[in-house]
Amino acid sequence: MARSKNILLNDVRGRIGKAFVVKQYANRTVISKIPDMSKAGTSESQVEARSKFKMAQIYAKSVLLNASARLYHEQRLQPGQTIYHAAISAYMKGEIENKS
């Protein structure tokens, strides 16, 4: 991991080619190798969370097609939130009782 004092990289974040990544930590810029995550496995809780999120997406898509479910989520919208994201949020929080 190398620290960079190059002013051109001050606000840069992300990959450079296929070998390096530029990271910002507080007041410094760091260039490092891209981590090899090929052998990293997923935990049981990660598998469960991904499955739950996938079901939330399916639910949210069905809400957009169902007028009564759409109205239910439309009434509960937060400022700047879409019906789709409100449905995902409600599903993930367990606030849904077969509203579709």
What single DSSP character describes residue 41?
Answer: -
- As to burial, measured by CB atoms within 10 angstroms (0-12 exposed, 13-18 middle, 19+ buried), residue 91 is buried
Distance of CA 2 to the CA centre of its chain: 29
Q: Residue type at 24?
A: Q
pLDDT band at 96 (very low <50, low <70, confident <90, very high): confident
CA gap 87, 99 in Å, rounded:
10
Provide the pLDDT confidence category of residue 99 given band limits of 50, 70 and 90.
very low
Give tens-digit pLDDT for 11-70. Answer: 777 888 888 888 888 878 888 898 888 898 999 999 999 999 999 999 999 999 999 999
Q: For the chain, what are the domain ranges? A: 2-33, 44-93
Pairing of strands 28-33, 2-4: antiparallel
* pLDDT at residue 69, rounded to an integer: 92
